[in-house]
């Protein structure tokens, strides 16, 4: 189980630019990764080790598990 979630600068800027509903949904999705960094519906990125794409409601998170103890959120976008 991860000990921390870190938003990389670009991802944080993307999160702040989202409408309020998507902002809250993005925060909730990231927080849930603290309990389970490998949810059943997360798709591994075939090109980047330990990197995943997770879709939740109206947002899509791109994140990386670092050393099994940290999750870095690298990007967040609205689902279209």
Domain CATH code at residue 36: 3.30.2310.20
- What is the pTM assigned to this prediction? 0.88
Q: Which domain holds residue 62?
A: 4-78
Name the domain count of the chain.
1
b/e per residue, 41-55, with b = 16+ CB within 10 A? ebeeeeeeeebbebe
Which of 1-5, 15-19, 63-67 has the weakest average pLDDT? 1-5
pLDDT digits (tens, 9 = 90+) for 28-40: 999 999 999 999 9
pLDDT digits (tens, 9 = 90+) for 19-71: 999 999 999 999 999 999 999 999 998 888 888 999 999 999 999 998 878 99
């Amino acid at each position: 189980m991860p000990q921390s979630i870190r938003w990389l600068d670009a991802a944080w800027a993307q999160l702040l630019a989202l409408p309020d509903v998507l902002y809250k949904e993005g925060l909730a999705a990231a927080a849930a990764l603290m309990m389970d960094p490998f949810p059943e519906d997360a798709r591994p990125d075939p090109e980047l080790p330990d990197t995943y794409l997770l879709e939740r409601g109206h947002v899509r998170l791109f994140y990386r598990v670092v050393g099994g103890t940290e999750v870095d959120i690298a990007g967040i976008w609205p689902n279209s």
